[in-house]
Chains A and B, each alone.
Chain A
Amino acid sequence: MNRFPNHRILPYALVMPSIAVIAIFLIIPFGQAVYLSFHRVSPFGALRNVGWRNYVEMFASAEYLFSFRNTMIFSALVIGVGLTIALCIALLTTQKIRGAAFYQIAFIWTYAMSPIIAGVMWSLIFDPAIGIMARLIGSATGYSINYFTDPVAAFLLVTAASVWIMLGYNICFFVAGLQNVPHELKEAAWIDGATTWQTFWVVTFPMLSPTTAFLVFVNTVYAFFQSFGMIDVVTQGGPNRSTEFLIYKIYRDGFGRMQEGQAAAQSVFLFVLIAIVGAVQIYTSTKKSVYDR
C-alpha cells in the first residue's frame, strides 16, 4: 500500500501548498457559492433560505434567457468568425512573400494590448457624437449608428472588438501550427494532382486540428469569461441588456443590483455549463486531432 517507499509524509507535504491554494481560492468559494445560491441576501447581509427559488426564477426570467441566448451567439461569432479570419491571415503570412515576418508580427502585436484599452479605443472610434467611424458611416450611408441605444449596434461592436483583440493570439498559434505541417505531405498531394484547395482541406487543415481545438477552447474561455473587461468598458451590458452576457450579468446582479443569491445560482449554473462544454471539447479534440504524422 506504500506508494512512496521510504517517504511516508514528504510527498504529501510537498503537494500541500498547491492543494491549500486550490482549496482556498477554488473549492471553498465554490462551496460558498453553492450555499449562497439557496439563499436570498438582504442589502445588509442577512441570509434567508429560499430553497430552489433562485434557480426556478433564473430559468423563468426573460432577462436570463435573453442573456443566455446572446452569450451563445456571441461565442459562436467570436469563435467562428474570429478563427476563420485568423486562419486566412495566417495562411497569407506563411506564403513565400517578401516581408512575411513583418506581416506576422504586425498582425500579432494587437494581442499585447489589454482588452480594457482596446475597449476604450473601440468605444471612442464608434462614439455616436465624437467617434470617427460613427461619423464616416453616417456621412456614407446617412444612418447614424448609436451603440448607446441600438442593441444590435452594441452587440456587433462588442463582437467585432472581441474578434479583433483575439486575432493576434489566434494568428500566432495558427502560424506556428502551419509551420509544423510537413512540407513532404503537401508535396505528395501536389504530385498526386491535388489542387491547392484540396491540399488545404485534406492535408493542412487536419494537420492543424490540435491547434484549432486548442484555439476553440481558448476563445470559448474568452467569450464566456474574459470578455468581461471589454463589456465593462464599452457598454456596461447595455443597451437594453443586449450585451449583458452571462458572466457580466453575474457581476451586475451580485454587485450592482445586490442580488447575491441570484448571482450565486447563476454562477453555479455557468460552472456546470462550462464544465460540460470543456469536457466535450477535450473529448472530441483528443479523439479527432491528428497528432501523429
Chain B
Amino acid sequence: MFQKRSKSILMAALVLVLALGGIATAQAPVTVEFWHSMTGSRLEVLNKVVADFNALDPTMQIEPVLVGTYEECLTRFRAAYQARQEPGIVQIYEVGTQTMHDSGMIIPAYQIPERLGETWDFGQYIRPIVQYYSKDGNLWSWPFASSTAMIYYNADHLRAAGLDPNKPPTTWEEMYEYGKKLVEAGVVKHALSYGWPDWMFENALSLHDLEYANMGNGRLGRPTEVSWPNEFTDELLDIWAKMAKDNVWIYGGAEYNANAAFQSGEITFLMQSTSSLDGILKTVGDSFEVRTTFLPRLANPKYARGNSLIGGNSLYVSNRVSDAELKVIFEFFKYLSRTDVSVYWHKNTGYFPATNAAVKALMDEGWFTQSPNHLTAFLQILSGKTDTNASAGMRMGPFAQSREWVRTALEKIANGEDPKAALKYSAEQVNALLAEYNEFFE
C-alpha cells in the first residue's frame, strides 16, 4: 500500500519536473499585454489590427485586453502598477494626459527608440496630434486613436423643414434658428443633442482661442484655477439655456447615448466625436442622408478663431518593461504607424489617420471624395490654429473630475437652472480639486 502511494507521488513529481523543464526550454514568444477601451464596432477593428501584427512574427505577440471605459482603464492601470501587474501598453484617453505625465509609471514615447538604440521620426504624425501629446517639444505618448468633435446632421430633416441641406448652421445663433424651425415644422421634437457634453464645452472655448484654465491652459505649469465662468461662457450658455427651454437642445447623457436618438431620426443635429462616424454610417445605412460639418461658433466677431480639440486616446508604455518587451512594443507601434494600417484604422473607425503618409495615400485613392464625411473633422482641425495654448488643448490633473462638474452644470442648465450660477458652483468645486492635486507636489 505504502509502496504504491510513494510510487504515484514519484510519478507526479516526475511529470511536474518534465512540464516545468518543457516550459523553460521552449522558444517562448515575448507577449506584451495591451489594455484598451475600444468597445462597439471599434473593438473588432482593433482586434483585427492586432491579429495581423501577431501573424507577422510568432515571437512577437501583443495580447489586447478590453478593460472597460477610459476612466476604468486609467484607474485599473494605476492600481495594477502598484500591484506590479500592469500591462506593457495601456491606452489612455486625452483627459489622463497630465496624470500620466506626473505618474512616474511610464517611459515617454520619445525615449523608446533611444533606449533601443534606434531612431524614429516623430515629424511624420499630423501636427495637432503631436502638439496635443507633447511636453517641452517631445512626444510623451504614442499617437493612436485621435479624433475631434464635429456636427452630424440629418439632411432629410432639413429638406422636410424647407431648409437648405447645403447650408447647415455655422453659428450658435443659426443653430438655434434652424432648430426652432425644425421643431415648429413638426419634423422633430428636439433638434440637437451632444455626445460628451463636457467636451463640447471645452471645444467651444478652444474654438474661440480661449483657455480653459490658467498657467497657459495648464501647458506651462499645473493650473490653479479654471477660466470660467467668463464673458464668453455666459454668452454661450445663455444660448444653450435658450435652446433647452425651446426644446431645440435635448441633453443626451454623458458619452454615446445621444447617438441612438440621431440614428433613429429623433433629432436632426448631433455633436459627437468623429470616432462615431463609421458606427453611425453603418447603423443609419440608407434610411436617411447623414452629413457632417464644422462645430458652430458664436456670431460675435470679438472672439478670435482657435481650433477644435484633439480627443480620443494615445498609448503609454510602462517603465517596468524589459528591453525584449520594449522591442515588441516598438515594433507594434511602428506597425500601427504603417500607412496601410493607419488607412485601415481610419476607414473603419473614423479616427484620424495619424501619419502624413496615410493622409496622402487616402487622398490619392480618392477616399475623401468618395466619403466626404471622413474629411470634415480633418479639414476642421487642420485649418485651425495650432500655435496657441488655447488651441492646443488644456492639461490638468483632476481633468476627469472637472469634466464631471461641467457636466453637472450643463445638466442643471438643461433642466432650467440659471447658467451663471450653475457654472460658478462647478468652477468653485474644480478650483478646490486643482488645489488638492497641487498639494501632492508641495
Q: Which 6 A-B pairs have the closest CB atoms?
A: A129-B261, A239-B411, A44-B103, A149-B414, A42-B440, A129-B266
Which chain B residues border A99 with CB–CB below 8 Å?
none
What residues of A have a CB within 8 angstroms of the CB of B99 in the complex? 43-44, 258
Q: Is A44 within 8 A of B102, CB to CB?
A: yes
Which listed residue, B250, B254, B401, touches A238 by the CB 8 Å rule?
B254
Are A241 and B408 touching (Cβ within 8 A)?
yes
How many angstroms from the CA of A130 to the CA of B266 in the assembled complex? 7
> Chain B nearest CB: distance from A138 CB in Å?
8
Complex: chain B residue closest to A43, CB-CB: B99
Q: Mark A194-226, 1 if CB is under 8 A from B, else 0.
A: 000000000000000000000000000000000
Inter-chain contact B190/A129, CB cutoff 8 Å: yes
Known: A43-B397, A44-B105, A255-B75. A148 touches B253 (CB 8 A): yes
Q: How far is it, in angstroms, between the C-alpha of A258 and the C-alpha of B247 when the chains are bound?
A: 36
Q: Which residues of B contact A239 (CB under 8 A)?
A: 251, 408, 411, 415
In this assembly, does B47 line the interface, its C-beta being within 8 Å of a C-beta of chain A? no
What chain B residues lie within 8 Å of A144 (beta carbons)? 189, 247
Minimum CB–CB distance for B42 against chain A, Å: 21
Is B356's beta carbon under 8 Å from chain A? no
Number of interface residues of A (CB under 8 A): 27
Beta-carbon contacts under 8 Å, B166-195 to A: 189-190, 193
Q: Is B260 an interface residue (CB 8 A)?
A: yes
A241 vs B408: C-alpha distance when bound (angstroms): 8
Measured between beta carbons, the chain A residues less than 8 angstroms from B75 are 255-256, 258
Q: Is the CB of A130 within 8 A of B260?
A: yes
Q: Is A48 an interface residue (CB 8 A)?
A: yes
Task: Give complex CA distance A144, B190 in Å.
Answer: 11
B contact residues around A138 at 8 Å (CB): 189
Let me know if A151 and B103 touch, CB within 8 A. Answer: no
In this assembly, does B137 line the interface, its C-beta being within 8 Å of a C-beta of chain A?
Answer: no
Size band of the interface chain B makes with A = 35 or more
Is A193 positioned at the interface, with any CB of B under 8 Å from its CB? no
A128–B253 alpha-carbon span in the complex (Å):
10
Identify 6 new A-B residue pairs, CB closer than 8 A, beyond the known A43-B78, A43-B437: A40-B439, A44-B78, A127-B261, A255-B72, A258-B75, A258-B398
| B252: chain A residues within 8 A (beta carbon) | 128-129, 148
Query: With A130-B264, A144-B189, A257-B401 given, is the CB distance from A45 to B440 under 8 Å?
Result: no
Chain A residues contacting B250 (CB-CB under 8 Å) are 128-129, 146
CA distance A149 to B404 in the complex (A): 14
Q: Is A45 touching B261 in the complex (CB atoms < 8 A)?
A: no
Interface pair A256/B260, CB less than 8 Å apart = no
Q: Are B440 and A151 in contact (CB under 8 A)?
A: no
Partner of B411, one of A46, A149, A255, A258: A149
Judge if B257 is at the interface, Cβ distance under 8 Å: yes
Q: Does B400 contact A (CB under 8 A)?
A: yes
The yes or no answer to A240 lying at the interface (CB within 8 A) is: yes
Taking CB atoms and an 8 Å cut-off, the chain B residues in 88-103 that contact chain A are 99, 102-103
Determine whether A70 belongs to the interface, using a CB cutoff of 8 Å to chain B: no
Closest residue to B104 on the A side, CB-wise? A44
Residue of A nearest to B397 (CB): A43
Q: List 7 A-B contacts (CB under 8 A).
A: A42-B440, A46-B440, A129-B190, A149-B251, A150-B415, A238-B254, A258-B99
